[in-house]
Amino acid sequence: MVNVPAAILHASSAAVMAYGYNSLRGLPLDGIISTQYGGHFRFLTIQGLAIAFVTMVVSLLVDLLPAVQAIRTVKRAVMMVSLPVSIVVSSIYWTLLSLAPQLLLEKDSPGEATPSSSEMLALMRIPLDIDLSLHACPAATLLLDFLVFERKYSAGAVRVGARVAVLLSTVGYSWWAEHCAKYTDGVFPYPFLTESPFWGRVCIYAGAGSIAYFSFLGLNKLHP
């Protein structure tokens, strides 16, 4: 039998995330980001959005084909990556946007053709509905899905699977960010990375990975 509430959550969440990503094409910042090496996928936000979207699509297949256990196995494996990544994205993004937006939004650089700081700040901000679909919807809906419609992970899965998933995600994005910076004159997708020396960035990557793992560990313990 189809789990209707779960199907509604998964379908609507996937639709909202698709809307957020597609809406980027109509914003001024798209013209800046799309011309850079790696495009939008230089950003952890977009990578997290993509894996969250995949999780919701697979989850919808689970709702429609509940007898196929292999699909649920795939969903739980993918969720082990998407849930902690989305939590890292949301927690860091909204904290910095509220307290220190200059660490997230591009600054101006010397030259007459470069916009002023206030103009650049306005340029890099995105409408609230798109912002929420990119930076809040993935974490909120994955969290709801996990706590309401999924069973908690076993101790072994958390001890081994989650550690491996977070480690691979952290190393993978760290490598990708460093690789892209080689083609953008050392400019990273986030100013707080650009302004940090190499070992500072290593600490940031490690810190984000730690947040991902321990948040997942805590959520699994809180799961009823």
Share of the chain above pLDDT 90, in %: 77
Tokens 């069973």, residue located: 151
Q: Which two tokens stand for residue 162?
A: 């989650």
Q: What is the pLDDT of residue 119?
A: 46
Mean pLDDT of 139-152: 96
Structure tokens at 55: 């999780």
Closest to 134 (Cα-Cα) out of 223, 5, 64, 29: 29
Q: How confident is the model at residue 180 (pLDDT cuts 50, 70, 90)?
A: very high
In three-state form (DSSP H/G/I as H, E/B as E, the rest C), the secondary structure along 131-200 is HHHHHCHHHHHHHHHHHHHCCCCCHHHHHHHHHHHHHHHHHHHHHHHHHHHCCCCCCCCCHHHHCCCHHH
| CA gap 151, 133 in Å, rounded | 26
Rounded Cα distance, 26 and 42, in Å = 19
pLDDT the model gives residue 48: 96
Per-residue pLDDT band for 224 (boundaries 50, 70, 90) equals confident
Q: Which residue is associated with the tokens 């919807």?
A: 137
Q: What is the mean pLDDT of the chain?
A: 90
For residue 106, the model assigns a pLDDT of 63
Q: Could you tell me which residues come within 8 angstroms of residue 68 by beta carbon, excluding any fewer than 6 positions away? A: 61, 62
Instruction: Give me the pLDDT at residue 132, please.
Output: 96
The domain spans of the chain are 4-222
Buried b (16+ CB within 10 A) or exposed e, 14-50: bebbeebbebbeebebeeebeeeebebebbbbbbbbb
Supply the DSSP string of 12-75, one letter for each residue: HHHHHHHHHHHHGGGSHHHHHHTTSTTGGGGSHHHHHHHHHHHHHHHHHHHHH-TT-HHHHHHH
DSSP 103: G
Cα–Cα distance, 175 to 162 (Å, whole number): 20
28-67 pLDDT per residue, tens: 888 888 888 999 999 999 999 999 999 999 999 999 999 9
With a cut of 70, say whether residue 111 has pLDDT above it: no
**Of 118-122, 171-175, 220-224, where does mean pLDDT reach its minimum?**
118-122
Q: What is the pLDDT of residue 33?
A: 87
pLDDT band at 215 (very low <50, low <70, confident <90, very high): very high
What's the predicted TM-score (pTM) here? 0.91
